[in-house]
Amino acid sequence: MNHRIMQNKRSPWMSIVLGLMLFSLIIFSGLPLVNSIFQENQLFSQSDSVTAISPEQKAQWEAEASGYQKVLLREPENETALRELLNIRLKQQDLAGAIAPLSTLAKIHPTQPEYGILLGQAKQYSEDNEGAASAYRDVLATYPDNIMALGGLVNLFLSQNLSERAIAILQNTLDRVSEKEESNVDLGSIKLLLGEVYTETQKYTEAINLYDEIAEADTSDFRPLLAKALVLQKQEKTEEAKSLLESAYELAPAEFKDQVKGAISN
């Protein structure tokens, strides 16, 4: 299986921003939405690097932001100013301040769904759940199989204890894609999202059955083995989980081996 989920070409700047913003590695790099392992990869967790920012650096960022805001008063769609202001707000972890430039960038670049996805995540973090859902759905209206938008909406539903909605949108997507004779959609990633919903709602049998189905369809994919192992750990089936984790480690691409190894040692 091709583990690169991203479908559209992006600028280097956009790749950096996405690397910072996305909540879950399934959306960006092909790993399952396994919060028990990858919580440290979320953008909005506290970190020493953030608290260590000097007052001088903060003042410099704010001065730069003020300059870009003045430019945008004259030229509301100046892309350089919008991107630079967004970059500063991300470095400041000011997600409320990031919403305005993201909204404009999403509007002027409707063919780049990443902006809408980032907007959804910023609104979700700012506790605007309705706005977040609207941003994700705007992307899905044009790109109904976009795994990042699906993952964002599923994450939003789970945060509101709306698991049945999460299951419904994923199942509907799978049903629709399965009806197509030819499709470039990564069904495995969508199924992994569905499996994670089952896991989060303690529907362990359904999750395991789905992970087995994914693994059978592609014996080279480490993700369903890892996901199933984590379910088995929750069920305290330690030895069976360890065996699967070791198999997942062998199959995992080099950039993910350390993370899988961490799961084995836990």
In order of 157, 198, 207, the CA distances from 36 in angstroms are 18, 15, 16
pTM above 0.85, yes or no: no
pLDDT at 75 over 90: yes
Residue 4 scores a pLDDT above 90? no
pLDDT of the residue at 26: 44
pLDDT in tens, 204-255: 999 999 999 999 999 998 889 999 998 999 899 999 999 999 999 999 888 7
Q: What is the pLDDT of residues 103-152, one digit of tens each?
A: 999 999 989 888 998 899 889 888 999 999 999 999 999 999 888 899 88
Neighbours of 159 (CB within 10 A): 13
Do 250 and 215 touch, CB atoms closer than 8 A? Answer: no
